[in-house]
A and B are shown apart, each in its own frame.
Chain A
């Protein structure tokens, strides 16, 4: 049975705004001369909304709201509840796997996965309810007059525009239509184009859809290459900047992931389009960004271990899964240390200098003399196309000579090139070339990269497991853990072999004749 929620969300339905400067009382007066209304009970409520940093719930048409000792996941479209729990006010940060197993945890984790819910906005709503009556004094339409405010702090509130929600009474559609028209045409209300939730988020300077870590920079084919590179790199610097506080506070693992992707993409742009930058500065910033990549690496690797631990463990027979607990403890301890070291680096003067100088350099790039950077004035369509073709051909060439006797490094190198190509395609290919050419290439590249990635990940995992052996052995339960780790290493080794065996096939499709022809046609000038 659906539980009585104690609050109806009213995020949806017909919502109307009062004309500017009209007070709620005046609107009620105006209303009562047009339609017979009767006032019902009023209510004041405090609604606290939560979403992930990147607005995953909003994007999925959902809201997580806490009110009166109860948290609910509701649909923004029709207000229906997907899940609800009785719980105290959520803490400043809530991960799905911190909830008790059950409907809420399941519903949340399918949408937000490993991202944390963060407080989005606190709305105080003061509502008066009215029934519009027919000739038999029966309520045929319900009206809710809401005077909402955003609670910023204990002594600061931002008042939002009062709004009237028009709610249907089942079976009285004609009356609803009539009342709606009267309110618009006669009383002079206007349709609200945003929900009160979105309105509140905007009032606090936030974005209802969350902070995106997508690049999404529009480019033109004939744009100067240095200007195109600078706008992409500036956007990447912005993504690094917006994720940095979450990285430092360790809010969830995706902050660091998105931060590092932005760093890696920036480095790829610098490497692939080196001709557009002055050589001296390029060299300096390449060193600095590589340093950022390095100081954030160990923390990310350990994040991945902890995130993947359950999957790793599921490779063991049921009976020995618990034996791995000591390993998880070691991983967690190392993760804490790695994170601490990373934060120290990110807070250092060196990092601060880079954060200030890098965007400034990018902003000034187009104004610098073009001597010694020939690529700068080339149209980006031409330059990017040339680079994409080159990297692709290089991969085809390198990949062809890989056989069963090649060392693992050959596959690692190919994977690195593949990342380069992928970034070129995503950053410059998609905005400048038709999607029906770029997307299939990205797909076949992705499946090649998955195979190469699996191969390398397994190797690294095996090495890491081995490196923790001594430490695990000193813990209680260490002997059993070591045995379980031995089984894991064996499994991982088998998977590494399997990935290696798959390589020939996925590479053949990536380097096929038709694919090569497509690349030639699409990206050659």
Chain B
């Protein structure tokens, strides 16, 4: 059976898409059959993989399982890595979910037939607390939560843990880290000391991460051996280890 991993944060612009895309790439590179579902109507990961952001039948048919989800999947440039693309209609996903029966586990049901086919399914989630995120909590085995080491990040983390209590495993990691900033260093030290579930790996704020949007590919192809690429490798290693330990 597959593991469903969702990159999630209530806030936007914290590195969710970068994490989803780069971790999914690493999973596939290591031999796992991997799917990334771009749930964000902005379609950033769909764009990065050069796939057209279009889902035939739109979100309503998809969440009601009226479309054949297997036919909506597109292969990416990377072997074993497939994408379920974003669609502009995803901006109304909340409404579509609300209108359906069992409104909190619709996404889990959509994923059901795919769990046999894939070893890892990544969900790249839009920032919000909504029926979409409730569905994600229901479907995911673990949340991968990027956190920028700033003043309020500790609070964000605690809020999230309270929100999903009893649900998926929460694996938080530092994102967009600028080691030259003493504030970042202090916050990181403090959070790591107080939150044992915080992952060790941290993703730097790096040029190659920003260039992903221009070159439309993963950091491992833009700057293999670069700091960001190494950090994602370390993060993926960390995540896999925790998943095994968690045994979800």
Contact = CB atoms under 8 A, between A and B. Distances in A.
Interface of A: 1-6, 131, 134, 136-139, 142, 168-172
B75 A172 contact: yes
Nearest to B71: A171
Given A136-B50, A138-B50, A2 B73 contact: no
A4 B32 contact: yes
Contacts of A139: 75-77
B161 interface: no
5 contacts: A1-B32, A4-B31, A169-B74, A170-B75, A171-B71
B30 interface: yes
Contact of B75 (A4, A136, A137, A169): A169
Given A1-B119, A2-B119, A170-B82, A138 B31 contact: no
B187 interface: no
Interface string B23-51: 00000001111000000000000000111
Of the candidates B32, B50, B75, B216, the one having the most CB atoms from chain A within 10 angstroms of its own CB is B75
Contacts of B32: 1-2, 4
A2 B73 CA distance: 20
A131 B79 CA distance: 11
Of the candidates B30, B79, B82, B119, the one having the most CB atoms from chain A within 10 angstroms of its own CB is B79
What is the interface residue range for chain B against chain A? 10 to 19
A171 B119 contact: no
B49 A138 contact: yes
Given A136-B50, A138-B51, A5 B75 contact: no
B77 A131 contact: yes
A71 B74 CA distance: 31
A4 B73 CA distance: 21
A140 to B, nearest CB: 8
A172 B72 CA distance: 11
Main secondary structure, interface of A, reads: loop
Contacts of A142: 79
Contact of B74 (A2, A4, A5, A170): A170
A144 to B, nearest CB: 11
A116 B75 CA distance: 40
A137 B76 CA distance: 11
Contacts of A1: 32, 119
A499 B119 CA distance: 54
Of the candidates A2, A6, A131, the one having the most CB atoms from chain B within 10 angstroms of its own CB is A2
Interface in B101-128: 119
Interface in B56-77: 71-77
Interface of B: 30-33, 49-51, 71-77, 79, 82, 119, 216
A4 B31 CA distance: 4
A87 B72 CA distance: 39
B230 to A, nearest CB: 20
Contacts of B74: 169-172
A5 B79 CA distance: 13
A96 to B, nearest CB: 27
Contacts of B82: 170-171
A281 B105 CA distance: 85
A53 B51 CA distance: 49
A136 B77 CA distance: 12
Contact of B31 (A3, A134, A137): A3
B73 A170 contact: yes
Contacts of A131: 77
A280 B72 CA distance: 79
A156 B162 CA distance: 69
A3 B30 CA distance: 9
A169 B73 CA distance: 10
A171 B73 contact: yes
B75 A171 contact: yes
A134 B75 CA distance: 13
Contacts of A5: 31
B30 to A, nearest CB: 6
Contacts of A2: 31-33, 119
The 9 closest A-B pairs by CB, nearest first: A4-B31, A138-B50, A171-B74, A169-B75, A170-B75, A139-B77, A136-B50, A1-B119, A170-B82
Contacts of B51: 138
A4 B32 CA distance: 6
A57 to B, nearest CB: 25
A169 B77 CA distance: 8
A423 B187 CA distance: 88
Contacts of B216: 136-137
B114 to A, nearest CB: 12
Given A142-B79, A170-B73, 9 more contacts: A1-B32, A2-B33, A4-B31, A134-B50, A137-B50, A138-B51, A139-B77, A169-B75, A172-B74
Contacts of B72: 171
A134 B74 CA distance: 14
A246 to B, nearest CB: 38
A466 B122 CA distance: 68
Contacts of A4: 30-32
A162 B18 CA distance: 40
A130 to B, nearest CB: 12
A172 B52 CA distance: 11
Contacts of B79: 142
A170 B76 CA distance: 8
Contacts of B77: 131, 138-139
Nearest to A138: B50
B124 to A, nearest CB: 18
Contacts of B73: 170-171
A341 to B, nearest CB: 53
A138 B33 CA distance: 20
A404 B32 CA distance: 67
Contacts of A169: 74-76
A172 B32 CA distance: 21
A169 B75 CA distance: 5
A136 B82 CA distance: 17
B44 to A, nearest CB: 15
B171 to A, nearest CB: 19
Contacts of A134: 50
Nearest to B83: A171
Of the candidates A3, A6, A171, A172, the one having the most CB atoms from chain B within 10 angstroms of its own CB is A171
Contacts of B76: 138-139, 169
A51 to B, nearest CB: 27
Nearest to B70: A170
Nearest to A136: B50
A142 B75 CA distance: 11
B213 to A, nearest CB: 14
Nearest to B74: A171
Contacts of A6: 31
